[in-house]
Structure 1
Amino acid sequence: MTQGSFEENLAKLRKDLAEDREKISSETSEIYREIATFAPSQTTSSSSTHPSAYLGLALATERKLGRLAERLGNIATLEKCRLAAALLEACEAVTAEGRGATPRRLMQFMAYEGDSSSHYENLIGAMDVFAASRKPTSTSEGRITPDLVKTIATRTSLRSRNWLSDQEAMDWNKVLQEKEVPCPIDIKTITQFSDQINTLDQGNGIIAVADAIYIVSKWLYELDLEYSNLAPDTRHQNISFETENPQTIYWNRTSRLLIPYIVAHFCDGIFLPLMCGLALSECQVKLRPLFTQNAPVKSARPHTLKVIASGLDKLDQTEKLVSQHWGKAEKLATDGRGTNLSKITTHLFDNGTICVADIVQLCDLTPQAAHYQLKRLLEAGLISRGPRGKVGGHYFLDLLLRL
């Protein structure tokens, strides 16, 4: 190839490239002009509320609920999962109130009640939620009633009534005489909420649960708006409430603990320790525009169904993790001599924490023998070391730190 033909070909290629660039630029500009003048049709804007947008998720969620109910038919396994669920829900509830909590911090607090007053102030509310979730309230035929909501609201605030003003402070003499702790939430609010939940069609199953979550969240939003007067567009992505608004905080805790009871109400009495805490917090951001528009409950179904699905997924993962670690504990107990290790692992999985003093009391062993048993659990990867407390070094069930 001569020098002249090479230059000619190069010039031709450059010319073609310039034409291609001009064509691409022209087409791109035209696309942008179309996008700028595009007005979405009414069918596009309402497609998210069409049943096809959420029915698939609803059916899959209902099937998963049924499968989990069968797998958790064993009471012992169910209670182990309930411990993990109570821990997560407690941490998420107080995190939404602006008081950070982690499973490790809460277990440390439960082990020996912390080292300072700041631990008490920050975590006592989480302890309320944990205790109420760990030991569920018995229901009347699995239905949502004012008495049930009142009991849950009272139990989630037993230790943390210090937010009440002097005028609202409880008369403890009256409490002792009547042997009943007053409910921190207005009874009229509870009755109106219960009536609204019971207007939903019980035959709708998991979709009715999603609608109830929308109603619960709307009550929470309106209480927060009433007390703190915050505009919805000023919120952060992770929902957080001001702690000087006690009604909002008490309802935040109550609404979270109500979700398993709502599922039982609409799904044939299936009562599982769902772990919806984080998903419920994240969902509030998507629901706020619907609250301001006073949108119907069906508009929120694509979002609220994801809360239930997320709670079931988390429970599914936790059940597998619990079964894996419990199988490891059973093997360790079988390989050992006597029944001491079996008692120790049962106590550990029931409470989440253990120390030398627990083992000495449980098995009538010497402190040296108790330390040996803890060493075996450490080597098996069943426990992790915690801080020292009033009764010695504490150890945590390792799987609870992995949630």
Structure 2
Amino acid sequence: MIHSAETSPVPRTGPAFGARPRPEEDPIPPLRFGVNYTPRRGWFHSWHDFDPLRAREDLAQIAGLGLDHVRVFHLWPLLQPNRTLIRTAAVDQLVRLVDLAAEAGLDVMVDGVQGHLSSFDFYPEWTRSWHHRNVFTDPEAVDAQAELLRTLGRALAGRPNLIGLQLGNELNNLVDHNPVTVDEVDHYLDTLLAAAREGLRPGQLATHSAYDAAWYGDDHPFTPEASARKGDVTTVHPWVFSANCAGRYGPGSFEVLHLAEYGTELAKAYADDPSRPVWVQETGAPEPHIPAADAPRFARATVLNAADCQGLWGVTWWCSHDVDRALADYPELEYTLGLFDSAGRAKPIAEALSQTVAELRAKPASPQPRDTALVLDCTPATRSVSAPGGAYFEEWMRLRRQGGRPAVALAERADDAEYMAARGIEKTVRLP
């Protein structure tokens, strides 16, 4: 199901990082498989006393699974403790981590504004308390974030293993404390993406990410259109707890095992460019939604089913290492999401993921176009129809369970013959 038989390291620059090349230029780039890096010792608090030796050990474990990249996160308050101060020492730590990843043979995607990580929000003090600023709408706060991204781009762009810069991790998690409209989100994303691109080299990506409310949440200000049309690839984070998918259908259900595939096809429908890549950038096996005994099967099925989607950039698992239980106040599921436990031992899910990736690389196949699309007709206020439990979601899954491979097409595009042909769609069906 993979696009290419290549097993050598993926090229550091060029079409594999961005849009799909034209057939006459290059073969379809190979799928990428990686992991979101969570430091084993101290979690992201380890940035307070960064230890290259410990990072090197973690990265070697990741590379040992046969993965080709990591996504990494620094903390916004440590990078930019004052609106007009970006700490050189903190930027240098990030550069050092990217270099250590290169030594391990890993490419790196860097998230800039953190922002939100594993149920904790990290704000610099200049955005809080008496100095409160809305991080999405205050012009000086937006300018400061843009300057941070420019600085990171200038510091990192020359690294040959840099995939690119992402604005931050699931920035829409900050909406509750920073009210924002759709138009204001669009301006924010456009401003920061432009800043991120200033320092990057051709072929390096500028992206953004959102949690599933962007796709499923009625009237959520981060929209599917923004996710699918801004930045160089569409990133999706199809978590099984979103809209209670695993609770509703069961941890080993067809719906759960095909959720990442569904999220990829849903994302493709909102893109203006029919060839725009989609990156399954976060997916994982959170207990108890996915019991530990079921995690290897879930990981294997998730990756195989996603790989059956045309235009998939790759899959990046969440996450590398469990949170140590010596650290307090995390939601229970955060302590067991790693491929490695907090002592550094590989878990059964790591072996399953590694084996699945190796098989996909050894047995290449190009996914065929999905020639039948289920038409999605919704408004911003009825977006939840496409969420688990929604009528559209359940009909798509019914068709898939019967052996079909349905694409998703928006109602406003269903009669656009040129667009539908570009996606290989020959037939449309609608909800009963």
TM-score (norm 1): 0.27
Specify which structure has the higher proportion of strand: 2
Which is helix-richer, 1 or 2? 1
The structure whose Rg is larger is 1
